[in-house]
Amino acid sequence: MSDNFLTGRNLLNVVRQSTYLTIVSMGQMFALLTGGFDLSVGTILALTSVVGATAMAGAHAAMPDAVGLSILIGIVAGIAAGTAIGVVNGIGVSVFNVSPFMMSLGMASIGFGIALYMTGGVPVYGMPMEFGDVFGFGSVFGIPTPILVTVILIMVLYFVVNWTRLGRYFYAVGGNIKAARLSGINTRLTLFLAYVLCGAMAAISGILLTARLDTGEANIGANMPLESIAACVIAGVSLRGGVGRIENVVLGAIFIGLVQNGMNLARIESYLQTVVIGALLILAVVADQFRLRYIANLQD
Q: What is the pLDDT of residues 45-84, one digit of tens each?
A: 999 999 999 999 999 999 999 999 999 999 999 999 999 9
What number is the average pLDDT over the span 89-93?
A: 98
- Of 205, 286, 254, 233, residue with least CA distance to 32: 233
What number is the average pLDDT over the span 279-297?
A: 85
**What's the pLDDT at 30?**
98
Q: Which domains are delineated in the chain? A: 8-299 (1.10.3470)
Q: Which residue has the higher pLDDT, 271 or 222?
A: 222
Please provide the size of the chain in residues.
300
Encode pLDDT of 205-221 as tens digits. Answer: 999 999 999 999 999 99
DSSP lists the bridge partners of residue 190 as none
**What's the pLDDT at 189?**
98
pLDDT higher than 70, residue 2:
no
**What's the pLDDT at 39?**
98
